[in-house]
A and B are shown apart, each in its own frame.
Chain A
Amino acid sequence: EAQVTQNPRYLITVTGKKLTVTCSQNMNHEYMSWYRQDPGLGLRQIYYSMNVEVTDKGDVPEGYKVSRKEKRNFPLILESPSPNQTSLYFCASSLDRYTGELFFGEGSRLTVL
């Protein structure tokens, strides 16, 4: 089954404790992206990757890191989480940057205390 898998789905952590949200897709997609969703703000892009070893900042990259060592994986790293990073996070992938059809994961709800 074609899918984008994120883990964990839910996480409560404390300020400053490094965490990683994993994202994996099994569709051989080139393009992958991370979004955060906050009430009243819609979805905002954090980082994206057009292919292996190619990543770039989105609209709200501060406080986040990503890597793309393999085509299928695109982890989101919060080196020192802060309460303003409490949010619902979505990973998405697309065949390439031109098609525009994104396939989303189920979301990861992160709470930073």
Chain B
Amino acid sequence: AQTVTQSQPEMSVQEAETVTLSCTYDTSENNYYLFWYKQPPSRQMILVIRQEAYKQQNATENRFSVNFQKAAKSFSLKISDSQLGDTAMYFCAFMNFIREDKIIFGKGTRLHILP
């Protein structure tokens, strides 16, 4: 069974610093997507970034980028120039898009951006 592990339950960084959130996953499949979702204090979850496993190039969305290491089954999220609005719970998620009908979420990392 696929699993997603986020080893950092909580982190704090100063505004404008760079922070990296860790995620590892376990699967024997080759066809999958990986995601980072953000849940701000307002609760509504939004997609931050998505990575297709067959792409070697790391996905980037403005200040958010990933370090996708397929062999190591690692998928970390880097937030550059962090802002107060980045304060949120971040969930790493995995989806096998061939066989599965669900997205598996990690337990989340609560990130605090300090002024």
Contact = CB atoms under 8 A, between A and B. Distances in A.
Contacts, number: 49
Interface string A95-107: 0011011101111
Contacts of A42: 91, 105-108
A110 interface: no
Interface in A43-73: 43-45, 48, 50, 56, 58-59
A106 B106 CA distance: 19
B80 to A, nearest CB: 23
Given A42-B91, A100-B33, A33 B47 contact: no
Contact of A106 (B35, B43, B50, B103): B43
A43 B6 CA distance: 13
Interface residues of B, number: 20
A62 B100 CA distance: 20
A107 B97 contact: no
B45 A90 contact: yes
A112 interface: no
A40 B105 CA distance: 12
Nearest to A102: B103
Interface string B40-53: 00111111001000
A2 interface: no
A12 interface: no
A50 B100 CA distance: 11
A40 B43 contact: no
Contacts of B43: 88, 106-107
Ranked nearest first, the 6 interchain pairs of A and B with the lowest CB-CB distance are A42-B107, A104-B45, A43-B105, A100-B95, A100-B33, A107-B43
Interface of A: 31, 33, 35, 40-45, 48, 50, 56, 58-59, 88, 90, 92, 97-98, 100-102, 104-107
21 contacts: A41-B107, A42-B91, A42-B105, A42-B106, A42-B108, A43-B105, A44-B105, A45-B102, A45-B103, A88-B43, A92-B45, A98-B97, A100-B50, A100-B103, A101-B35, A101-B50, A102-B47, A104-B44, A104-B46, A106-B43, A107-B44
